[in-house]
């Protein structure tokens, strides 16, 4: 007897193309909420658009507010002004030369969201735009050149000036380049391209923001985490990370690729579908996974057709 077996296999293609939110109504600090989400789901919620805002407000139709994944971490939430990813080789976005004797970055004044190079070439986190923080800056130009501008500007104005006249504020990829910028700075305190910005807990680069007007205000200089406010249609406020709130997690769905397979099998006796599952599909699936497909791959029987006896 011959059987023709039609199989359909679901092969995951890439992760996190889609997501489902979960509301956890147990007040926790932001870090506790993050641990909970990572243990039980994928991570704290990342939002990509207003549909996501609506999904959250419908899930947690509560009063008060709940944590999401956007936060500002003094040690890690740093980005370079040059965003072109091909500018950076492996590991080159994470080169740092913080001043160690002052334990930088220390967020000393609470709002030190930009970075200056000190006269000895080490880095200090520094306010971006206060009267005393207007300093010189070093731009990055064509052919890997570094140019000092001694006009004293805020970090944003320095960035705009470099983008208008050269390529960008100096974004430093390794110690060789740090030395070049140090040389260009010529003993001045200068802004470089590094700045601190709120990042998503799962590392997503979603640029979607839904701040309530006047937010984030970092009042008391200690509001580094983000909450969805139910009384403000799901708009966001910045909050003290050590306060406790309910929170939103998400779980990622994997995208599936669907592949149809046709298999002809010769057998002596007639097989039931259960026997086909056990004797043919299971070993076949093990073989696929053994050959490198993800272990979330599934195979199911679509149709069995007897072609000969
Ligand atoms: C995962 O969720 C359970 C309740 O569903 C909770 O008891 C447990 O503490 C959570 N895990 C973490 C690490 O928070
Ligand atoms: C991005 O960086 C690469 C390498 O430095 C460069 O060749 C390319 O022109 C840059 N692209 C843009 C759009 O600036
Ligand atoms: C850090 O900064 C202090 C004060 O500006 C300076 O004395 C020291 O040499 C700097 N360098 C390092 C490596 O900490
Ligand atoms: C950059 O380097 C190339 C090759 O050395 C040279 O032809 C070009 O003139 C340089 N551009 C500038 C603006 O210096
Ligand atoms: C320095 O920056 C100022 C302000 O943008 C600009 O007018 C000036 O041309 C710059 N100088 C150089 C040498 O780039
Ligand atoms: C520093 O980075 C530049 C640009 O990627 C590269 O050409 C140079 O070789 C690097 N130097 C070191 C010491 O890694
Ligand atoms: C807010 O955060 C600070 C530390 O950043 C902490 O000392 C303080 O107790 C927190 N306030 C509340 C109300 O939790
Ligand atoms: C699937 O693979 C992951 C990582 O390789 C492993 O942790 C997990 O236990 C596997 N699950 C099954 C059901 O084999």
Dist. CA 127–CA 109, nearest whole Å:
8
35 lines ligand 2 (CB under 6 A): no
Q: Is 158 helix (H, G, I), strand (E, B) or coil?
A: helix
Q: Are 15 and 202 in contact (CB under 8 A)?
A: no
CA of 225 to the centre of ligand 7 (A): 12
CA of 170 to the centre of ligand 2 (A): 15
Dist. CA 166–CA 141, nearest whole Å:
5
Dist. CA 17–CA 151, nearest whole Å:
46
Comparing CA positions, the residue from 151, 147, 157 lying closest to residue 135 is: 151
pLDDT at 13: 44
Give the ligand 1 atom nearest the CA of 38: 13
298: which strand partners?
10
Of 139, 140, 142, best ligand 4 pocket probe by most atoms within 8 Å of the beta carbon? 142
pLDDT at 94: 93
Q: Work out the widest C-alpha separation in the chain, in whole angstroms.
A: 91
Give nearest CA residue, ligand 4 atom 3.
143
Comparing CA positions, the residue from 103, 108, 81 lying closest to residue 93 is: 81
The single-letter DSSP state of residue 230 is G
244 lines ligand 7 (CB under 6 A): no
The CA-CA-CA angle for residues 65, 28, 217, to 5°, reads 45
Q: Are 125 and 142 in contact (CB under 8 A)?
A: no
Average pLDDT per run of 10 along the chain, which is 309 residues long? 60 54 96 96 94 90 89 90 93 95 88 94 94 94 97 97 98 97 97 95 92 88 91 94 96 68 79 86 83 72 75
Q: Are 134 and 154 in contact (CB under 8 A)?
A: yes
pLDDT at 188: 97
CA of 282 to the centre of ligand 7 (A): 55
Dist. CA 194–CA 123, nearest whole Å:
10
124: which strand partners?
116
Provide the token pair at 3: 């059987």
* Neighbour count for residue 103 (Cβ, 10 Å): 9
What lies within 8 Å, CB to CB, of 35 at 6+ separation is none
Dist. CA 288–CA 296, nearest whole Å:
11
Give the ligand 5 atom nearest the CA of 139: 14
Dist. CA 185–CA 86, nearest whole Å:
26
Dist. CA 225–CA 238, nearest whole Å:
6
pLDDT at 158: 98
């Amino acid at each position: 007897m011959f059987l023709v077996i039609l199989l359909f296999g679901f092969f995951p293609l890439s992760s996190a193309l889609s997501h489902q939110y979960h509301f956890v109504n147990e007040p926790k600090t932001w870090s506790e909420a993050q641990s909970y989400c990572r243990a039980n789901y994928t991570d704290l919620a990342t939002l990509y658009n207003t549909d996501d805002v609506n999904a959250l407000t419908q899930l947690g139709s509560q009063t008060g507010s709940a944590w999401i994944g956007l936060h500002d971490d003094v040690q890690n939430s740093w980005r370079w002004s040059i965003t072109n990813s091909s500018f950076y080789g492996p590991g080159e976005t994470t080169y740092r030369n913080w001043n160690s004797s002052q334990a930088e970055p220390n967020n000393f004044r609470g709002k030190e969201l930009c970075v200056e190079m000190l006269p000895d070439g080490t880095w200090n986190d520094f306010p971006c735009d206060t009267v005393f923080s207007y300093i010189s800056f070093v731009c990055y130009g064509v052919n890997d050149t570094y140019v000092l501008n001694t006009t004293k500007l805020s970090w944003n104005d320095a960035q705009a000036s470099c983008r208008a006249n050269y390529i960008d504020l100096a974004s430093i990829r390794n110690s060789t380049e740090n030395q070049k910028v140090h040389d260009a700075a010529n003993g001045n305190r200068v802004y470089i391209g590094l700045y601190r910005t709120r990042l998503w807990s799962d590392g997503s680069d979603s640029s979607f923001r839904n701040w309530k007007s006047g937010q984030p205000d970092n009042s008391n200089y200690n509001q580094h985490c983000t909450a969805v406010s139910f009384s403000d249609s799901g708009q966001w406020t910045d909050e003290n990370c050590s306060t406790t709130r309910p929170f939103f997690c998400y779980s990622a769905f994997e995208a599936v690729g669907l592949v149809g397979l046709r298999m002809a099998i010769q057998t002596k006796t007639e097989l039931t579908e259960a026997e086909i599952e056990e004797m043919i599909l299971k070993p076949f699936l093990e073989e696929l996974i053994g050959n490198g497909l993800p272990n979330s791959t599934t195979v199911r029987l679509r149709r069995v057709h007897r072609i000969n006896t």
